[in-house]
Structure 1
Amino acid sequence: MNHKNNFSEISKRRYIVKISGMVQGVGYRPYIYNQAKLSNIKGWVSNHGSSVVLDIEGERKTIKGFLIKIIKTPPDLSTIEKIRLLSKEYKGYLDFQIKSSSSDAKGLKFIGGDVATCPQCLEEVLNIHDTRYHYPFTTCTACGPRYSILRKLPYDRNNTTMDDFQMCPSCEREYNDSTNRRFHTQPNSCPNCGPSLSLLTNVGKKVAFINLIQKTIDLLQRGKIVAIKGLGGYHLACDAENQEAIKALRKRKNRPHKPFALMVKDIEAAKELCVINEIEEKILLSNKRPIVLLEKKAPKELLDVIDPNMKKVGVMLPYTPLHYLLFQGTITALVMTSGNASSAPIQYENHEAIEKLGRIADYFLIHNRDIHIPVEDSVVKVVNDKEVLVRRARGYTPFTFPINTSEEVLALGAEEKSTFCAAENQYGYMSQYLGDLKDFDTHRIYEKAIENLINLLGLKPKIIVHDYNGSYLSSQYAETMTGKKIAVQHHHAHMVSCMVEHKLFSPVIGVVFDGTGLGTDGKIWGGEFFVGTRERFSRVGHLKYATIQGGNQAIKEPWRIATSYIHAMDYHEKKVLKVIDEKSINAVTQALDQNFNCFESSSVGRLFDCVASLLNLRQKITYDAQAAIELENILDPSVKEYYGYDIGEENGLYQIDYKSILMGVLKDIEKQVPPSLISARFHNTIGKVTLEMISRIKERYRVNRVVLSGGVFENTYLLSYIVKGLKKRNCDFYYHQQIPTNDSGISVGQLGVAAAIEGKG
């Protein structure tokens, strides 16, 4: 008998297994528990930091099959990055358990994003016989809040804002039942024990009504604007078919032109409004549920008040039970815009929301589940059959990516469209989109988000990376921190952000087009051609400098930019800028002659602003890049012609002369050529001259890899034109998909540069 027992123990094995990746908040421990029971594996599983650790015993063959199962076919929301396996002395466990979590300050950290409501939870919410019927906070291991409610790791209820709610006996039973899909669901709750809704007036007075959701639907149908608290913050909502309500929202929010996003009832409603291809439909229906930019199909008058002067509209589907419930009436589409005043951050705390949004919203539908970190809706589009992130936020953040540094680094990003990145243990972590740091409240949230991510990761940054422009608020914030400082030139960071995304290390040709960024010569860059690596770059070409008058005001008033360009060409400004009064034009030209409040710029973004002004599309903007965006939206894609252009060379640098391009535009304006044709010819010219510059640089420097980056490449037509030309030239080319091409990607590039520099050191 003893001999058999000894033999049995010898044939069994014990292993400690550490699995790192997106393995918390995804139902991984319950999945492992159930697979262990099925496979007769003994031991335990536990959250350890942001990893999952198993101590398992069983027959060697059985353990192998068990590990293959849990690693090769984990829950849908999980992503496994790293596995460690250690053999240990056999102990003789009698069963398998889920043990209490523990922290691990030194381990790899992976933080899950918020996830849209799953079909099973939605079925319960809409089932009149279910205990969670119409319960707005229904969730399970496959869906619900994650990052927005997380205070610290590991992802356990007591480390989230759900710690404020004690589970009732029924929810406790679900939580502890290994056969239930809510087994170890951290935000688990029901109407008896979980968060609840309140409906308030815009002065904070409670509205007494039995069915608050039905009352909210009634208010929306009556044309009221309702501030609705969601997963990551507040939305301002109104009926998308009520033009008066939309106009009121624009007026109150001081947002006269910037597009609004739509939330529609279902995919069928989306198809009524927009042309949707298979890839776009898949993204719309994904568990991330971003805003997707789609081609308009509905009647012009319906969508133009929502997205004026645009060919596309941003559409998303419901992603919380509350959203689904708002569509139980006759409304099929709601304007759902960020709950903020113009240029301010999204509101996420109840008392501040009422204070800041009370002049905009008529009513507030709030709940008492705190949001720890506010997260905007993500925005994506499909370009060349690929998903391209415009704004990386809810569902897509924090974004974890490999980076070749073992140092603890913090990269602070740009000033507008700000994000930041942290790094440790060969991984980088990109924050959600935060906004313009010049807004006081945005800067406050930026600081809080940095502190939160550093605490989650257990990080003590030794290297602080910031923009080369010391006047940026992100650069000034770097000076308040301890650690080694590294300043990274803005456009180099753009280039490297694309290299990091595509795992490029060897030299590339970097084409970086944007609006503003301080160059190493003290001038404003933005039409740049580099040859370089992650560590360093050489500027080998650029758009010829133009002297622009007006400082930051010029960016807000494109007519100043147009006047500056035309004045340099000795062309009569008043001949084309007829809508601008003569006194204003004279003031700018005199300031140009005296070099007063002027700056030299090679920015392609400013050249787009110039042409938009010359065509009288936009003389004053009300949101970032409005003039250039509207210029793209009027172009006729059937036009193939382009204007003449000149490429010169000075001090070894190729230079694109803007004068010949603008002369072509001006001649067409004199001939009264339709603006749609002029816009197309201008776009084609920028694409054509860019391709010729790349060809010349490729031949001179013997580099075949090309990366395209910078905010101008938000322009889908220009990006596609250049990509098509690079294919014909047999170039290896790369553009942004998962990391935004605009300034939101700067922090990733800064991190890439710092990692390369430190790696050499």
Structure 2
Amino acid sequence: MIKIFGIVQGVGYRPYIYNHAKLFNIKGWVSNQGSAVTLDIEGEKEAIKGFLIKIIKNPPNLSTIEKIKLLPKEYKGYIDFQIKSSSYDEKELKFIGMDVATCHECLEEIFNIDNPRYHYPFTNCTTCGPRYSILRKLPYDRNHTTMDTFQMCPSCRGEYNDPGDRRFHAQPNCCPNCGPSLSLLTNKGREVLCTDPIEKTIDLLHTGKIVAIKGLGGYHLACDAKNQEAIKTLRKRKNRPHKPFALMVKDIEIARKLCMINEIEEKILLSNKRPIVLLEKKGSKTLSDEIAPNIKKLGVILPYTPLHYLLFQGAITILVMTSGNGSSAPIQYENHEAIEKLGRIADYFLIHNRDIHIPVEDSVVKVVNDQETLVRRARGYTPFTLTINITQEALALGAEEKSTFCAAQNQYGYMSQYLGDLKDFDTYGIYEKAIGNLVSLLGLKPKIIAHDFNTSYLSSQYAETLAGKKVAVQHHHAHMVSCMVEHNLFCPVIGVVFDGTGLGTDDKIWGGEFFVGARENFIRVGHLKYVTIHGGNKAIKEPWRIAISYLHAINYKYKKVLREIDEKSIHTVIQALEQNFNCFESSSVGRLFDCVAALLNLRQRITYDAQAAIELENILEPSVKEYYSYNIGEENGVYQIDYKSILMGVLKDIEKEVHPSSISAKFHNTIGKVTLELISRIKERYHINRVVLSGGVFENTYLLTYIVKGLEKKDCDVYYHRQIPTNDSGIAVGQLGVVAAIEGKD
């Protein structure tokens, strides 16, 4: 008997095995058992060998084999090969399938006028369609999904039961006679009478209307990307003045007209995961700068459901396709609530009656050093299963922003989809629901609850409502360990963690950290020198306050550098700093980036996370190789990077009216160079050659690449994030890695 574990259900594996058993003259049976495909087979030795090589080395495209068990069984004398009904074992390993883009065969049917599924927007088969977003419980059977309310017609039932059909046991299988349907509504919830809701939606988009469209994992807000007035209206209504909009384009040819696309990026765009891919803009004036102001890249996605393909039948070739939510709110996914929450933004709603059980945003990826790098892990990429060496069941609750969580069972970790900022009430509700859903799917009874060291985080407070042993994990240690988990590292490393905010063990705000440590512990061997910043959370939204705080720290006699800020406001901040009123100490590299962006008058107030730092990177002139002078001091055996000489260099260049693009490049080069020098000193002192880079600042591709290349020249083994996001979305994985290491030592 053979048990194959992994993503092996709902992907056409049993019919694949059945057909190859016939081909190799194998007798016996195959069945879904738990999250495994189980086979009991008999046949000639060479035939069995060829059969196993075929089904294990070349499984169906959507399958992922994690583990194989061989169990001895007595000879039965089977006379044929059968597909047996499923069974379920709560104790077995569990693997959950991901939502998948429409396959080519289904697409051909949708556009074949003679096919019964012609223009049917819910066409799917075993190799495509919804999975995780509609799944209520395991095993993945139709009655455990939101498709259980739709009874298959005789034709669909015949496909579903035929091992020779590509829809054999395709759980969401349906057709126009028995499946979900579309409706077009006004933003007041009244139905629009029309013969074809899709055709009418295309007309509305073409005339500049904003339409909320229910997709695979939630609603999108869509408008014609070539209609500047529609884009301005969407920005105003959504209260999103600057943050870039994602674009859905008709096909890869349109994408090539808008962006520079290399071979790797094209492969990702066309993959069955269909993420948003961040691509370098071309100089084309096809689109308004309103789509991604002050940014050199566009987020581009190709259609991934039949409905999306059908929306591009008319003259529209590019749609703004942004998350269906208000500013900072979670994506909407239920029809009634969507109309209530998005009615002030959208003019119309294209809805359907297939429920979404768990909302899932679009994933976001980019290519760094010829490698796919996840920025936001969501649809098509979650739940993400990874090996965690922990014997007890555990739950890691992640950070407060860019939130995810991670569960552990049977020495596997299950990372959730991106959920957002927990300070938003509705996001927190979805966070609780998503945890409950995954815990239920896995049958998890966590004995250990890991959370952030910062007890004011809502994720940490949620930990207190749960039963189990609580383990607080320092934020930046979790960042470092998340990268160690991704790269399967257990030995001591030098950890470089740059981000915006995280509570340190000295109750100050960290974010420019150099650690030496492993999964279970760390020592802080270096950091950016502390600065006293006035304004609390308000300072993060208003980088000019950070700039004044740094200028005050270096005793710079203030001159009129910040053009948009009045003298009275500046004087008030200086007074507060002198009296240490509403101030905090920070070693954050992210805040230093904010300071320089404000000094260059790029951004005094931000409207989305890390906007100032992002725009600072985007003005950078890569041909500039100069850098500012810097100093590395030492206090009580801990290295400190002094920012004074760096900022004085920036200020002198501003006085000399050096172009901001050159100043940005010199500043980036300086941060890269001082980081490399400090790593060299730590390497020499502690005799460690492995370096781990983590934290949200390393979303900055220029800085990351600069440091990686510099470390490679120094013959360091350097590790950075690819599959687990480097931002706070990776924190939960790191927390779980820390807990696993601590428990392993006990």
Q: Which residue of 2 aligns with 1:235?
A: 220
> Gaps (5+ residues) in structure 1?
1-15
What's the CA shift for 1:303? 4.2
- Residues 451-501 of structure 1: per-residue CA shift (max 9 Å, x gap): 111111111000000000000000000000010111000000000000000
Find the partner of 1:167 among 152, 171, 179.
152
Q: Which residue of 1 aligns with 2:574?
A: 589
What's the CA shift for 1:209? 0.7
Structure 2 counterparts to residues 122-141 of structure 1, below 5 A: 122-141=107-126
Using the alignment, how far apart are the partners of 1:452 and 1:594 within structure 2? 49
Q: Which residue of 2 aligns with 1:3?
A: none
Using the alignment, how far apart are the partners of 1:168 and 1:423 within structure 2? 40
Using the alignment, how far apart are the partners of 1:250 and 1:573 within structure 2? 36
Instruction: Give 1:475's aligned amino acid.
Output: S
Find the partner of 1:452 among 428, 437, 447.
437
Using the alignment, how far apart are the partners of 2:582 and 2:15 within structure 1? 64
Contact 2:211–2:346, Cα closer than 8 Å, also in 1? yes
1:52 aligns to 2:37 (yes or no): yes
Contact 1:514–1:603, Cα closer than 8 Å, also in 2? yes
Using the alignment, how far apart are the partners of 2:331 and 2:251 within structure 1? 25
SS of match in other structure, 1:757 = helix
Find the partner of 1:510 among 474, 495, 517.
495
Contact 1:156–1:186, Cα closer than 8 Å, also in 2? yes
1:718 aligns to 2:703 (yes or no): yes
SS of match in other structure, 1:87 = coil
What's the CA shift for 1:102? 1.7
Using the alignment, how far apart are the partners of 1:686 and 1:373 within structure 2? 41
1:429 aligns to 2:445 (yes or no): no
Using the alignment, how far apart are the partners of 1:177 and 1:61 within structure 2? 29
SS of match in other structure, 1:449 = helix
- Residues 272-315 of structure 1: per-residue CA shift (max 9 Å, x gap): 00010011000000000000000001535724110000000100
Using the alignment, how far apart are the partners of 2:240 and 2:501 within structure 1? 23
Q: Which residue of 2 aligns with 1:661?
A: 646
Q: Which residue of 2 aligns with 1:189?
A: 174
SS of match in other structure, 1:292 = strand
Using the alignment, how far apart are the partners of 1:733 and 1:511 within structure 2? 11
1:98 aligns to 2:83 (yes or no): yes
- Residues 413-457 of structure 1: per-residue CA shift (max 9 Å, x gap): 000000000011111110000000001110110011111111111
SS of match in other structure, 2:128 = coil
Instruction: Give 2:582's aligned amino acid.
Output: N
Q: Which residue of 1 aligns with 2:205?
A: 220
Q: Which residue of 2 aligns with 1:151?
A: 136
1:78 aligns to 2:63 (yes or no): yes
Using the alignment, how far apart are the partners of 2:500 and 2:87 within structure 1? 47
Instruction: Give 2:120's aligned amino acid.
Output: Y
Using the alignment, how far apart are the partners of 2:327 and 2:9 within structure 1? 36
What's the CA shift for 1:55? 2.5
- Residues 488-532 of structure 1: per-residue CA shift (max 9 Å, x gap): 000000000000000001010000000000000010000000000
Contact 1:398–1:431, Cα closer than 8 Å, also in 2? yes
Find the partner of 2:555 among 570, 595, 603.
570
Structure 2 counterparts to residues 197-276 of structure 1, below 5 A: 197-276=182-261
Q: Which residue of 2 aligns with 1:315?
A: 300
Using the alignment, how far apart are the partners of 1:440 and 1:93 within structure 2? 59
**Which TM-score applies when normalising by structure 1?**
0.97
Q: Which residue of 2 aligns with 1:419?
A: 404
SS of match in other structure, 1:235 = strand
Find the partner of 2:390 among 405, 426, 441.
405
Q: Which residue of 2 aligns with 1:394?
A: 379
Structure 2 counterparts to residues 329-408 of structure 1, below 5 A: 329-408=314-393
Number of equivalent positions: 746
What's the CA shift for 1:86? 1.4
SS of match in other structure, 2:72 = strand
Using the alignment, how far apart are the partners of 2:661 and 2:57 within structure 1? 53
1:679 aligns to 2:671 (yes or no): no
Residues 503, 586 of structure 1: alpha-carbon distance in 2 compared, 3 angstrom cutoff: same
Using the alignment, how far apart are the partners of 1:244 and 1:251 within structure 2? 11
**Which TM-score applies when normalising by structure 2?**
0.99
Contact 1:397–1:431, Cα closer than 8 Å, also in 2? yes
Using the alignment, how far apart are the partners of 1:107 and 1:632 within structure 2? 48
Using the alignment, how far apart are the partners of 1:472 and 1:606 within structure 2? 20
> Gaps (5+ residues) in structure 2?
none
SS of match in other structure, 2:560 = helix
Using the alignment, how far apart are the partners of 2:70 and 2:634 within structure 1? 60
Using the alignment, how far apart are the partners of 1:298 and 1:189 within structure 2? 44
Instruction: Give 2:150's aligned amino acid.
Output: F
RMSD between aligned residues: 1.0
Find the partner of 2:736 among 730, 747, 751.
751
SS of match in other structure, 2:651 = helix
What's the CA shift for 1:574? 4.1
**Worse-matched range after superposition: 119-128 or 37-46:** 37-46
What's the CA shift for 1:59? 3.5
- Residues 15-54 of structure 1: per-residue CA shift (max 9 Å, x gap): x221101101211111112222223333322222211122
Find the partner of 2:618 among 633, 637, 660.
633
1:110 aligns to 2:99 (yes or no): no
What's the CA shift for 1:68? 2.1
Instruction: Give 2:564's aligned amino acid.
Output: V
Instruction: Give 2:277's aligned amino acid.
Output: V
Instruction: Give 2:454's aligned amino acid.
Output: N
1:736 aligns to 2:704 (yes or no): no
SS of match in other structure, 1:559 = helix
Instruction: Give 1:220's aligned amino acid.
Output: L
Instruction: Give 2:193's aligned amino acid.
Output: A
SS of match in other structure, 1:573 = coil
Contact 2:228–2:288, Cα closer than 8 Å, also in 1? no
Find the partner of 1:487 among 443, 466, 472.
472
What's the CA shift for 1:69? 1.8
What is the percentage of aligned positions where both structures have the same residue?
A: 82
Structure 2 counterparts to residues 510-659 of structure 1, below 5 A: 510-659=495-644
